[in-house]
Amino acid sequence: MSAPLLEIENVSRAFGGVRALDGVSLRVNQGEILCIIGPNGAGKTTLFNIISGVMRPSSGDVRFQGESIVRWPPQRIAAAGIARTYQIARPFVRLCVRDNVAVGALVRERTLERARCAAQEILESVGLAALADRPAGTLTLTQRKRLEVARALALRPKLLLLDEVMAGLTPTEIDAMGDFIEQLQERGIAAIGGVEHVMRVVMRISHRIVVLDFGKKIADGTPAEIAADPRVGEAYFGTSLDGAGASSPTKGQS
Amino acid sequence: MRGRALIAFIIVVTILALVPPFLNGYARSLLYITVLYVALAYAWNVISGYAGYLSFGQVTFFGLGAYTTAISVVRGHLPWWEGALLGGLISAALAVPLGYLMLRLRGAFFALGMLGLAQTLQVVANSWQLTGGGAGLFLPPGSNALPVYYWTLVIGLLTFAATLFIDRSAFGLRLQALREDEQVASTLGVHVTTTKVWAFVISAIVPGLLGGGYAWYLTYVEPVSAFATRFDLQAVAMTILGGIGTVWGPLIGGVLMSQVSEMLAAQYPQAYLMSFGGLVVVLLVFLPRGIAPAVSAALARRRARGAQGHQ
């Protein structure tokens, strides 16, 4: 078995007296799709902030391809191949859509011209090519979500952190985003998705699911295992998942 | 259109280069002050327009350049332009540590921090023997206007060229990205600190070079005028009026403001400041992003209509 792409070891982070993350450990393998589920405030965004270098953990270690990255600045982590999106889309509103994406492409491309070409290709793959010259501030919420993903892809990441990438989308759009995430592994990109709701898609696309609750990891397993875990049902769904809702993903995965 | 703009640019530069020897003293000094302010506005536009760090203290480097030149001439007997070059070098060298320090501040804190820096240097100049204290330093008198004008014109053109480069380069895109959102820029691979310190150095070296010329032009330096907040306020007003973070903004705003203010001062000396202030307010109410973006939007609309007309 090859070494995991990302290893998070015993990571904690406190804000004042609140333990946003409490001794969380997890692994992501090459090309794997891992979904982190948990209610609002469970610590998903804090974890993404720590992995992407925006925030330092109070204790614990983060290793990417075997190297500790916990003290690296964000730009070095980005260049090494970890890209992220933000829960609330944060486009560079006064820059055009293409330039928003070109910023990330500059990590790989020498000239601005080539970065813009690369950006255009990525925009075509996410269906924003027609809007390339528009200021990003004029995009709709759905388009902004796609722009977040496009910008992250411009780094040509090995690992993509998708923070609440489904939030605010319609059911059709959620399915489309699910398909998109599934296709990432064909391109050799692993993904960690942070998701509060939309269990249906999570069960369909995840190889593995991690459940966070009040900063603690309470479960880690395949969708079938998670659906069958009584602790998850109680902590997350407020009730056990023995009912009909869990039966179809269980069948699909086993 | 691009070719025509280039020809217009060459004609303007030729006029600016050839006409001054034939002007009278008043017109020449008006031209010098206009070019000086436009150049300062271009320098300010890099850190404040492209990088988004509003500064009220770039005059720190202007004063530094002025004093470096005066000290070099008076105490070191160097030619003035060597002193001015030295002022530019010292400004650039000082801007690196200062940038690392000051650019940790954001928004109003950075603006006020820079203002405080200029005030601090003013106090230092006021109380140090080397700088002549409150009386300042007197340079040998002479007809210095023309060489200083050309010095300023060349540096202004170089600053304009730097702006053109920044506007079309990867460096410029990174600057604009960090202006919009530093954290997002960093997670997209932008080395935020290095990028903005470079912008700060560019915005420091230009006033550092120009301050020496100003000292030689006035034939003296003293603390209050060398570190006058007025220089920054002018650059701020001109750039915002013309269009902040644009290639043409400082030029449009700078030329317009200095000419209109001169005209109003000549025509209505009593009501000049009031009418001038009112004019700036009215323009900004109707064109909040400045003149240059409004003009380019209008041109884009006309081009779009023209394209439709052809089909």
Which residue is closest to B177 within chain A, CA to CA? A92
Residue A83 touches partner B, C-beta closer than 8 Å: yes
> Which runs of E-coded beta strand occur in A40-81?
59-64, 67-68
Check A92 against B184: CB less than 8 A apart: yes
Read off the pLDDT of residues A153-207 as tens digits, 9 standing for 90 and up. Answer: 999 999 999 998 888 888 888 888 888 888 888 888 999 998 877 788 888 899 9
Read off the pLDDT of residues A86-112 as tens digits, 9 standing for 90 and up. Answer: 999 999 999 999 999 999 999 999 899
Read off the pLDDT of residues A21-65 as tens digits, 9 standing for 90 and up. Answer: 999 999 999 989 999 998 888 899 999 999 999 999 999 999 999
Q: Which of B112, B110, B284, B293 is nearest to B199 (CA)?
A: B110
Q: Give the residue ranges of DSSP H helices in chain B.
A: 2-18, 25-44, 59-74, 80-102, 107-127, 145-168, 170-180, 182-187, 192-218, 223-226, 229-242, 249-267, 272-286, 291-310
* Eight-state DSSP code of residue A135: B
Cβ atoms B207, B62 nearer than 8 A: yes
Confidence check: pLDDT of A245 > 50: no
Report residue A90: phi and psi, to 5°: -125, 70
| Separation CA B224–CA B306 (nearest Å) | 54
| Separation CA B259–CA A127 (nearest Å) | 49
Looking at beta carbons, which residues of chain B come within 8 Å of A53? 186-187
Query: For B97-103, which contacts have Cβ atoms below 8 Å and span 24 or more sequence positions?
Result: B98/B200, B98/B204, B99/B196, B99/B197, B99/B200, B99/B201, B99/B204, B100/B193, B100/B197, B102/B200, B103/B53, B103/B193, B103/B196, B103/B197, B103/B200
Residues of chain A numbered 152-191 and touching chain B (CB < 8 Å): 152, 154-155
ipTM: 0.88
What residue ranges of chain B have pLDDT lower than 50? Answer: 311
Q: Tell me, what's the pLDDT at B116?
A: 92
Mean pLDDT across A234-250? 50
Q: What average pLDDT does the structure give for chain B?
A: 90
Looking at beta carbons, which residues of chain B come within 8 Å of A75? 186-187, 189-192
**Alpha-carbon gap: A248 to the closest alpha carbon of chain B (Å):** 38
- First-last CA distance in chain B: 21
Query: How many CB pairs (< 8 A) connect A and B?
Result: 73
Distant-in-sequence, close-in-space partners of B135: CB < 8 Å, separation ≥ 6: B222
Residue A54 touches partner B, C-beta closer than 8 Å: yes
**Alpha-carbon gap: A106 to the closest alpha carbon of chain B (Å):** 7
Confidence check: pLDDT of A231 > 60: yes
**Type and span of the H or E element at A107:** none
Better-predicted residue by pLDDT, B277 or A212: A212
Check A155 against B174: CB less than 8 A apart: no
Check A79 against B189: CB less than 8 A apart: yes
Residue A139 touches partner B, C-beta closer than 8 Å: no
Cβ atoms A8, A47 nearer than 8 A: yes
| Separation CA B153–CA B145 (nearest Å) | 12
Which of B173, B188, B303 should one mutate to test binding to chain A, selecting the residue with the greatest count of A CBs within 10 A?
B188
| Separation CA B88–CA B158 (nearest Å) | 14
**Alpha-carbon gap: B293 to the closest alpha carbon of chain A (Å):** 12
Check B170 against A106: CB less than 8 A apart: yes
Check A103 against B169: CB less than 8 A apart: no
Looking at beta carbons, which residues of chain A come within 8 Å of B190? 75, 103, 106
Distant-in-sequence, close-in-space partners of B115: CB < 8 Å, separation ≥ 6: B56, B57, B229, B232
Distant-in-sequence, close-in-space partners of A94: CB < 8 Å, separation ≥ 6: A135, A136, A137, B176, B180
- First-last CA distance in chain A: 22
Looking at beta carbons, which residues of chain B come within 8 Å of A115? 170, 173
